[in-house]
Chain A
Amino acid sequence: MSTRAFTLTDAMRQQAIGVESEPVYLDIEKGHVARFAEAIGDDNPAYTDGTAWAGGIVAPPTFLRAIREVRPVVPFEVPFTRLLDGGSDWEYFEPVRVGDTISAIGRIENMVERTGSIGQMLISTVKITYRNQSGNAVATQTSTSIRY
């Protein structure tokens, strides 16, 4: 159990909220979408067959997880090394299609400190906005991560 002293002050919290990551880009490729669909065990033809879906092949709902390292830098030292993914809240606005270039920018929405069965924890909420090459938001993903 952690005995490290860590206090999230209101000033630190306010300093963290609103911090954005650098954009990360991903070109949506046909083979990658097909491999992802196979890996999640989904044989929906929308993910592999352009003729099945008006406008061409689309990506599965959580495909955008393949854009890695969308991480806003926390503006203070966090003494915890272990990380748990608490969950995700996705909102969808437009389909993601093969041929799109998607950008992802993460923004720290909230941070709270708690003590639970695993000891002291820092719970962060980060909202990632995904945009296509036209600048339209295609989806947002709000994730909760627990450092302890």
Chain B
Amino acid sequence: MAEQVYFEDVAEGMELPAEVREPTTRQLVQYAGASGDFYEIHYDKDFAQSTGLSGVIIHGALKNAMLGSFVTRWAGPEGILRRLTCQYRGMDYPDEAITAKGLVSRVYQEGEQNLVDCTIWLENPEGQQTTPGTATVALPSRND
């Protein structure tokens, strides 16, 4: 079980522990099946190249899911995801290392909730942010 992060332990500027993933074409096929997104640019190399791409590319929605996993893992079992945004700025390819990174941008209370805003992104092997985004999570307090 993942450790729990508490509201009191979080400060603006803090880094979320980076995660490296290397999706395979097999994972893209799994994602196509599980999500129902069967657009051929994600598993048929000839088709992908016929559209001008260098090869198959990772589903934007899978990158969105990876960012969701990254931030919910950090928020722990008692953390609640309130908002998740991302923009697809660049293509990502299978069998390349993709790193999820994040920074705490704001720590605040709203009503009864202890909220934390994060800037999150996926980075390709060249260090470019292909998929920037944000997340808001509600965290438990040590005083609860």
Contact = CB atoms under 8 A, between A and B. Distances in A.
Given A40-B69, A44-B69, A66-B35, A85 B83 contact: no
A87 B88 contact: yes
Nearest to A140: B83
Interface in A21-37: 32, 35-36
B40 to A, nearest CB: 13
Interface stretch (B6-14, B56-64, B108-116, B119-127): B56-64
B31 A39 contact: yes
| Chain A interface, >50% SS class | mixed
Interface string B42-64: 00000000000000000011101
Interface size class of chain B, counting residues whose CB lies under 8 Å from the partner chain: 20 to 34
Interface centre among A60, A68, A84, A85 (most CB of B within 10 A): A85
Contact of B68 (A61, A85, A87): A61
Interface string A55-69: 000001110011010
A46 B77 contact: yes
Contacts of B64: 62, 65, 88
Contacts of B23: 41
B104 interface: no
Contacts of A35: 30, 33-34
B72 interface: yes
B69 A86 contact: no
Contact of B33 (A39, A62, A68): A39
Nearest to B134: A89
Interface in A85-136: 85-92
28 contacts: A35-B30, A35-B33, A35-B34, A38-B30, A39-B62, A40-B31, A40-B68, A40-B69, A41-B23, A42-B73, A44-B2, A44-B69, A44-B73, A46-B77, A60-B65, A60-B68, A61-B68, A61-B72, A61-B84, A66-B34, A84-B88, A85-B60, A87-B88, A88-B64, A88-B84, A91-B82, A92-B82, A92-B83
Interface of A: 32, 35-36, 38-42, 44-46, 52-53, 60-62, 65-66, 68, 84-92, 144
